[in-house]
A and B are shown apart, each in its own frame.
Chain A
């Protein structure tokens, strides 16, 4: 099959998923409410000025990670639960299914991040020292989260206990991406003060943050490539 067909099929899957999501809003409302609730709870109970940059960064990514865990399995699980996976198997190339779902998950997670990150900055009263770095960390971190959880979601959707094991399976696999994202975000929030400290404790300052962004991108590419190779075995049995 030629690659243009492939891309067209993937885009058709994406368009279908977006339309379904727009009509039902199963995933988006649940994820967004979760994220906003978690943000609000912490900013209620903690004075924003008492947190260090690394704690703030970790907190932001914990919220984003668990939002992904509530929402990103939906697109696959729903195909299995509503038994539409069979018609998809009959008609669509596995790679196109994977790419379509990946694109949908990226879109969903990006939409969540677009709400959560500004809200986080407002509620915690943070003016990031390096807004550009923060933006990059968010974008690449979102891609990393979506790429690792899409294949895990495909695995989980074929198991019996669909909801229960998603986070358990996803966490160890996501960890390399997650810790790079947290480090880059810490550097973005802390800024110059951090780079001096970084020399002592091995913390990445803005210079080291470039390395973190690179490893985030590498992680994402590795995840997508291996998912494409392995997806067939999950989808087709």
Chain B
């Protein structure tokens, strides 16, 4: 059973590698450029999936945090922190790629567009999350404090998304659907849509793979430490 599962995982790993390669190639050669943004529009195959994965990872972190507060299992705390690490990594990727795109299209790297504001606050929150983790010695206490902060922060994020668009003097510069169309229509071109969805799936798979890798390593190290002690 276990052997078959791990063989399945190995196969999925290779599939993921091939999938991501195809997505990257297709993003540059298969999908057409958008009408208004031109070649610049290809950012959506990487920037948006990265942003999506970071939000997903933070949601997973919050779910594990809540579960940790319920059962106090060390593994749930570890999983929460691994997911937050990955979320932070993808958040940085989304921020940097978005900022380069902003420079190329709107002329400045940063201009407090609502979505920029929210992602900046996400970076702050999870930066603070790790600052808190590193300043508590006792693992049980570290787990519960970090979990409480994680839950509290996650509660405020939707509020911020609600408040941020109303921050004065800045209209959203973020491109929405129509800009991505090749023709004048409202819908995304079908080829673009295919690559975009495939990329979302690929990025999500990538997150799942690295996350499970982290968790398996952690289990292995913990088991080893227990065996040495016992």
A contact set with B: CB distance below 8 Å: 54, 151-152, 155, 158-161, 164-165, 168-169, 171-173, 175-176, 179-180, 183, 186, 201-204, 215, 219, 222, 226-227, 230, 233-234, 237
Contacts and interface: CB of A to CB of B under 8 A. Distances in A.
B159 A237 contact: no
B52 interface: no
B156 A171 contact: no
A202 B166 contact: yes
Interface stretch (B4-12, B24-32, B42-50, B132-140): B132-140
Contacts, number: 95
B125 A168 contact: no
Contacts of A175: 121, 156, 160
A234 B152 CA distance: 12
Given A159-B145, A203-B168, A237-B141, A169 B136 contact: no
B124 A172 contact: yes
Contacts of B141: 158, 237
Contacts of A202: 166, 168-169, 171
B128 to A, nearest CB: 5
A70 B96 CA distance: 33
A155 B148 contact: yes
14 contacts: A151-B148, A152-B152, A165-B135, A169-B132, A172-B121, A173-B125, A175-B160, A176-B160, A179-B163, A180-B163, A203-B168, A204-B166, A233-B147, A234-B144
B198 to A, nearest CB: 34
Contacts of B124: 171-172
Interface of B: 69, 121, 124-125, 127-128, 131-132, 135-137, 140-141, 144-145, 147-149, 151-153, 155-156, 159-160, 162-164, 166-169, 171
B137 A155 contact: no
A204 B167 CA distance: 9
A178 B171 CA distance: 20
A175 B149 CA distance: 15
Nearest to B137: A160
A56 to B, nearest CB: 14
Contact of B159 (A186, A203, A222, A233): A222
Contacts of A226: 151-152, 155
Contact of B128 (A151, A168, A179): A168
Contacts of B128: 165, 168-169, 171-172
Given A172-B128, A172-B156, A159 B168 contact: no
A163 to B, nearest CB: 11
A178 to B, nearest CB: 10
Contacts of B137: 160
Contacts of B132: 155, 159, 165, 169
A23 to B, nearest CB: 30
Nearest to A230: B148
7 nearest A-B pairs in the assembled complex, by CB-CB distance: A176-B159, A161-B135, A172-B125, A203-B168, A172-B124, A159-B135, A230-B148
Interface core residue of A179, A183, A186 (most chain B CB under 10 Å) = A179
A120 to B, nearest CB: 20
A230 B151 contact: yes
A70 to B, nearest CB: 18
A226 to B, nearest CB: 5
Given A158-B141, A165-B132, 9 more contacts: A169-B132, A171-B128, A172-B124, A183-B166, A201-B168, A202-B169, A204-B166, A226-B151, A226-B155
